[in-house]
A and B are shown apart, each in its own frame.
Chain A
């Protein structure tokens, strides 16, 4: 599995012709205070067949399935600024991809200790 992150906001162009070759896969998106989770069903796709890349605010997930029924898919999302490009990770399990997008520390809620003054 490859995870690429590129913080400088550079965008690739000329992608539209290839886009037609890809079809969407079902995706769940969850969020808590620490991170955003993107979960994708990719049956038949091995860990080596997945590319996850974060280019500026654009998250791209691509999967390739080899073998008897080859397929390709791509989903692209715009992620909020709160995501820290250094805290992106992905795991593949039983044909399900989970991408974890950790948030920057400054956007996480902070617990402030209450001091007693008496």
Chain B
């Protein structure tokens, strides 16, 4: 799993839109409990920002991150030997002339570095940002590719 959709505290008094549905009261209670917990523990965003996943696809490593609202030009991806670094930011601010009633989305600044589990070919690496999800495909060097070993009959 990439990211929990969940766990966003929603302080929403004075909101022109009120959350509806049978779970409203329950959610309100949960929100209060979560906010209470939040006072003692840093939030996910403060701890490390968006979640990254790294998957070994055999011939390549695949790194994915949920980065809604990020622009391509606001992201910098670097590969140096087996260190991958990703930097970027998105700003969330009220549009000019609008009053803010609810603010759950946050401004995010990421500066992450990962040590990859094997050597990859920087020439063949590719990055794609689609619908707010960054996907990096990092093909492994030939020496790191999985090899099939024939079992000899003795």
Contacts and interface: CB of A to CB of B under 8 A. Distances in A.
B132 A28 contact: no
A26 B8 contact: yes
A80 B22 CA distance: 19
Contact of A39 (B10, B64, B99, B105): B105
A58 B3 CA distance: 28
B117 interface: no
B131 A45 contact: yes
Contacts of A30: 94-95, 98-101
In this complex, the interface size class of chain A, counting residues with CB under 8 Å from chain B, is 35 or more
B16 A36 contact: yes
Contacts of B131: 42-46, 92, 94-95
Contact of B20 (A32, A42, A58): A58
A42 B66 CA distance: 9
Interface residues of B, number: 42
Contacts of A76: 19-21
A42 B4 contact: no
Contacts of B71: 94
8 contacts: A19-B23, A23-B5, A28-B94, A28-B105, A37-B95, A38-B17, A41-B69, A43-B2
Interface in B42-94: 64, 66-71, 92, 94
Given A76-B20, A77-B20, A96-B68, A24 B133 contact: no
A16 interface: yes
Nearest to A49: B131
A80 B68 contact: no
A73 B95 contact: no
Interface of B: 1-6, 8, 10, 15-23, 27, 64, 66-71, 92, 94-95, 97-106, 129, 131-133
Given A26-B106, A80-B16, A32 B97 contact: yes
Interface of A: 15-16, 19, 23-32, 36-39, 41-46, 58-59, 68-69, 71, 73, 75-80, 92, 94-96
Contact of B132 (A23, A77, A95): A95
